[in-house]
Chains A and B, each alone.
Chain A
Amino acid sequence: NAGVTQTPKFRVLKTGQSMTLLCAQDMNHEYMYWYRQDPGMGLRLIHYSVGEGTTAKGEVPDGYNVSRLKKQNFLLGLESAAPSQTSVYFCASSPYVPENTEAFFGQGTRLTVV
């Protein structure tokens, strides 16, 4: 019962460093998402993917890149980290159908950029 797994769970970066967050799901879901959660702002969509090899921008895509080379994996990259990217990052997945299915979430990654 792995569901959605995110690695790492915690990370501290220096300004300008790069890193990749990995998300893996074992539910054969078509859709995958990356959100960031900040106090008072809820969850905001960074990028999402509707299938292997496809990605699209969400609400707050600047400073991030993503890739989905395999259906089960969705990677979020920060090329040059900035303090404004300090946040908790969540990966989620959902199936194409049934339509009323909720999104399944990973446990989050707390990223601090100093």
Chain B
Amino acid sequence: AQTVTQSQPEMSVQEAETVTLSCTYDTSESDYYLFWYKQPPSRQMILVIRQEAYKQQNATENRFSVNFQKAAKSFSLKISDSQLGDAAMYFCAYRSGRNSGGYQKVTFGTGTKLQVIP
């Protein structure tokens, strides 16, 4: 079974600064997808960014980018120019590719609570 590890329960960043959230995963599969979700105090789960394992290029979405290291099984999220609205819980998630037995499941890490300091 796949596992997702987020080793930083809490992080803080000054407004306008850059912060990196760590995520590692364990899998024997070669075909999979990785996601970062944001959960603000409203509890709503919001997709931040996704990465296909077959793509070497790191995904970016405006101020959010990832550092995907497939060999190291690492998938960190970088938030640039941090804003107060970025304060939330962030979850890393893994989904197997279609040819894998676990395709229908999405496995989540334990989350990192990000505080943004004005």
Contacts and interface: CB of A to CB of B under 8 A. Distances in A.
Given A100-B52, A105-B44, A42 B105 contact: no
Interface in A26-58: 31, 33, 35, 40-45, 48, 50, 58
Given A40-B9, A97-B98, A105 B104 contact: no
B16 interface: no
Interface residues of A, number: 24
Interface string B94-111: 010110000111111111
A90 B45 CA distance: 9
A40 B109 CA distance: 10
Contacts of A43: 91, 108
Contacts of A62: none
A1 B79 CA distance: 28
Contact of A48 (B9, B45, B104, B109): B104
Nearest to B45: A105
Given A42-B111, A88-B43, A107-B44, A100 B50 contact: yes
Interface string B44-63: 11010010100000000000
Nearest to A51: B104
Given A100-B33, A105-B44, A108-B43, A48 B50 contact: no
Contacts of A69: none
A29 to B, nearest CB: 11
Given A90-B45, A99-B98, A108-B43, A31 B104 contact: yes
B35 interface: yes
A4 B104 CA distance: 18
A94 interface: yes
A86 B56 CA distance: 42
Interface in B1-35: 4, 6, 9, 33, 35
Interface of B: 4, 6, 9, 33, 35, 37, 42-45, 47, 50, 52, 91, 93, 95, 97-98, 103-111
- Which 5 A/B pairs are nearest by Cβ-Cβ distance? A105-B45, A42-B110, A43-B108, A102-B47, A108-B43
